[in-house]
Structure 1
Amino acid sequence: MSGRAWKFLLVGSLVLNVFLIGGVAGGAYQWFVAHGGAAAAAQAQPRALRFAAAGLSVERQQQFVDALKTARREAREYARDGREDRREVLRLLAAPQLDRAALEVALNRTREADIALRSRVEQSVADFAATLSPDERVKFAEGLRERGNWRLPQAQQPVNRPASD
Structure 2
Amino acid sequence: MSDRLRNILLAVSLAINVFIVGAAAGGGFMWYAMDRSRTAQNQGALRFVAADLPLAQRRAFLQALGDARRASISDLETARASRDDLARLLSQDRLDKGAIDAELVKIRNADMALRSRLEQAVVDFAETLSPAERQTLVEALRQRASMLRRTPARNSD
- What TM-score results when the alignment is normalised by the length of structure 2? 0.82
Structure 2 residue matching 1:95: 3-state secondary structure: coil
Aligned match of 1:116 in 113, 116, 119?
A: 113
Aligned residues: 150
Structure 2 partner of 1:89: 86
Aligned CA RMSD, in angstroms, stands at 2.3
Letter of the 2:26 counterpart: Q
Q: Which runs of 5+ in 2 are unaligned?
A: none
CA distance in 1, matches of 2:95, 2:35: 43
- The more displaced of 8-17 and 48-57 is 8-17
Determine if the alignment matches structure 1 residue 138 to structure 2 residue 141: no
How far 1:40 sits from its partner (Å)? 4.4
Determine if the alignment matches structure 1 residue 70 to structure 2 residue 63: no
CA distance in 2, matches of 1:30, 1:86: 39
Structure 1 residue matching 2:43: 3-state secondary structure: coil
Letter of the 2:27 counterpart: W
Q: Which runs of 5+ in 1 are unaligned?
A: 157-165
Aligned match of 2:122 in 116, 122, 125?
A: 125
Letter of the 1:32 counterpart: G
Structure 2 partner of 1:48: 45
CA distance in 1, matches of 2:110, 2:71: 13
Determine if the alignment matches structure 1 residue 32 to structure 2 residue 28: yes
Structure 2 residue matching 1:131: 3-state secondary structure: coil
